[in-house]
Amino acid sequence: MRALIQRVSQASVTVEGACVGEIGGGLLILVCAMQGDSEAEADRLAAKIAKLRVFRDEAGKMNRSLKDSGGAALVVSQFTLAADTARGNRPGFSAAAPPEEGERLYEYFAAQMAAQGIAVATGRFGADMAVALVNDGPVTIWMET
C-alpha cells in the first residue's frame, strides 16, 4: 500500500456539495492499495502511521504520535498514488489494485486505524472528492509497504 500523510490542523472531504468527513487536528491520509496488496500490508501501514512521531511535544520537537496527541485521521482513497510517469506525459495506473479490491483494502485500512484507538473519518471510495486541508508545519510524508 502507498500513503501520503499530511499533518493538519483541520481537513475535510466534500462529495457533491455535502461534507462526508472532517477532522480537526491530526493526519490526512491519502491511501492507495496496489496490485498484490493484502490485509497484512494494511495492518503494517496502519500500525506504522498510528505510531509515527510527527506531532510536537512540550519542547516543540516532533516526538509524539497520532495516538499520543489524541488527533484524528481523515482517510481518503487516492488511486493516483499508483501513477507511473516513466513514459510519456499521461500517467498509467495499472499498478493500483482493481477497484473492488482497492475499496475492500481501503475500508479495511480505515478500520485498522480505528482499531488503533484513533478517531477516523473517511472520504467516499471512487467518488469525485474535494479535499480541503490546512497543512500544519507543513509536514508531508510518503509511505509505502
Is residue 36 within 8 Å of 82, Cβ to Cβ? Answer: no
Q: Is 116 a catalytic residue?
A: no
Residue for grid cell 512521531: 53
Amino acid at 104: R
Q: Is 78 a catalytic residue?
A: yes
Catalytic residue (choose from 6, 14, 55, 79): 79
What nine digits make up the cell of 20? 462526508
Cβ neighbours, 10 Å, residue 135: 13
Is residue 2 within 8 Å of 143, Cβ to Cβ? Answer: yes
Q: Is 80 a catalytic residue?
A: yes
Catalytic residue (choose from 35, 80, 93, 140): 80
Catalytic residue (choose from 78, 109, 112, 122): 78
Q: Which residues are catalytic?
A: 78-80
